[in-house]
């Protein structure tokens, strides 16, 4: 028995936020000091490092679970199964349904339960629950669902990655320009096709010095309202940590399959930061004493930004549907998913299409 992805779907918000919209922002550093270098210079440097020119935000009336439900329906329709045949729904996110104009998390009821409600699934045996695992949450959801499917406890599982990070961003923090909103979903099925599907996976959590590399903190502006929590990060520490640990997890995952580095056709890595992702993949190939092949790593961060748990499944859906220019996958291709996120959590998975 094995586990295969039989359907995918995405929901890319329609609100486009171009880098030019940050020209009028007032930026402060973590000490509350005004940054006077000029916003165009800030934007140019940010683009050079992250690759991001645009990002997508949810509309004011949309919530994370709204985006998730759209992506879920599209994935189920793509899979061609009735909604009530699902045995479980996992929704990976980090802040829940944060309302426009607020930073307060809203996680009760679970987002997976809200999606189940919107989809009209009344079957009690379809268990719905959330996963909070930082940016690698969608991939961790696949790993969890796989266990239910392999034991025979389930036949079909829906795994969603959805986030509206625009609701928890400090407008006076330069790092806020990296984040975005979005959702994507996958339908998993237990099959007898052992030559396809999930081949291996690896997961790691580092919770000592790394625990607060990503955190919720006060705004940088001196007059910011006390008690309003924003998403913050120590970018340099995350970069150094990712470069050290993610390639090792990827190698651990690939080595489990018994296949070589040359067998990999695509790497779908979390769209966190273009330079960081390129450095991670370069280091991964260096571990095998070889160079990175051309077109091994599709990237869409330049237009969609970092939508956390939604980046990998969105990218995979685009490539799988042949809607991503210059990249496609075919039956029998070995691909890898890899991600890093808050915690610091790391995971990787190999998959044969």
- pLDDT string in tens for the chain (353-residue length): 899 999 999 999 999 999 999 999 999 998 999 999 999 999 999 999 999 999 999 999 999 999 999 999 999 999 999 999 999 999 999 999 998 877 788 889 999 999 999 999 999 999 999 999 999 999 999 999 999 999 999 999 999 999 999 999 999 999 999 999 999 999 999 999 888 999 999 999 998 888 888 888 889 998 876 667 899 998 889 999 999 999 999 999 999 999 999 999 999 999 999 999 999 999 999 999 999 999 999 999 999 999 999 999 999 999 999 999 999 999 999 999 999 987 689 999 999 99
The whole-number pLDDT of residue 1 equals 84
Which of 3, 24, 251, 40 lies closest to 143 in space, CA to CA?
A: 3
The whole-number pLDDT of residue 51 equals 94
Which of 288, 281, 282, 280 lies closest to 259 in space, CA to CA?
A: 288
CA 164, 168, 170, 173: dihedral to nearest 10 degrees?
Answer: -60
Alpha-carbon distances of 25 from 31, 32, 42, 172, 174, rounded to whole Å: 17, 15, 11, 7, 9
The whole-number pLDDT of residue 114 equals 97
The whole-number pLDDT of residue 295 equals 93
pTM of the model: 0.94
The whole-number pLDDT of residue 322 equals 95
- C-alpha–C-alpha distance, residues 124 and 236, integer Å: 46
């Amino acid at each position: 028995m094995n586990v295969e992805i039989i359907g995918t779907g995405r929901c890319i918000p329609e609100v486009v936020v171009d880098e030019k919209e940050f020209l009028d922002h007032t930026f402060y550093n973590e000490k509350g000091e005004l940054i006077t270098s000029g916003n165009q210079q800030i934007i140019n440097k940010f683009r050079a490092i992250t690759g991001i020119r645009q990002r997508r935000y949810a509309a004011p009336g949309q919530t994370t679970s709204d985006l998730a439900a759209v992506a879920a329906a599209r994935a189920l329709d793509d899979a061609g199964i009735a909604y009530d045949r699902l045995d479980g729904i996992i929704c990976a996110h980090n802040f829940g349904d944060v309302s426009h104009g607020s930073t307060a998390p809203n996680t009760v009821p679970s987002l997976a339960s809200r999606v189940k409600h919107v989809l009209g699934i009344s079957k009690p045996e379809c268990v719905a629950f959330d996963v909070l695992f930082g940016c690698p949450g969608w991939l961790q959801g696949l790993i969890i669902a796989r266990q239910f499917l392999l034991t025979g406890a389930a036949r079909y599982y829906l795994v969603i990655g959805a986030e509206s990070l625009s609701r928890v961003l400090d407008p006076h923090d330069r790092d806020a320009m990296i984040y975005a909103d979005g959702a994507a979903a996958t339908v998993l099925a237990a099959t007898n096709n052992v030559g396809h599907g999930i081949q291996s996976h690896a997961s790691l959590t580092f919770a000592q010095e790394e625990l607060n590399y990503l955190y919720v903190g006060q705004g940088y502006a001196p007059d910011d309202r006390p008690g309003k929590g924003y998403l913050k990060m120590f970018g340099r520490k995350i970069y150094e940590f990712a470069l050290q640990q993610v390639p090792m997890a990827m190698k651990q995952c690939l080595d489990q399959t018994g296949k070589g580095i040359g067998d990999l056709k695509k790497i779908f890595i979390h769209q966190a930061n273009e330079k960081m992702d390129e450095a991670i993949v370069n280091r991964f190939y260096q571990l095998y004493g070889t160079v990175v092949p051309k077109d091994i790593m599709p990237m869409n961060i330049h237009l969609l930004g970092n939508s956390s748990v939604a980046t990998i499944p969105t990218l995979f859906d685009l490539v799988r549907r042949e809607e991503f220019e210059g990249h496609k996958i075919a039956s029998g291709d070995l691909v890898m998913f890899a991600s890093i996120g808050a915690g610091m959590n790391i995971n990787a998975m190999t998959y044969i299409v």
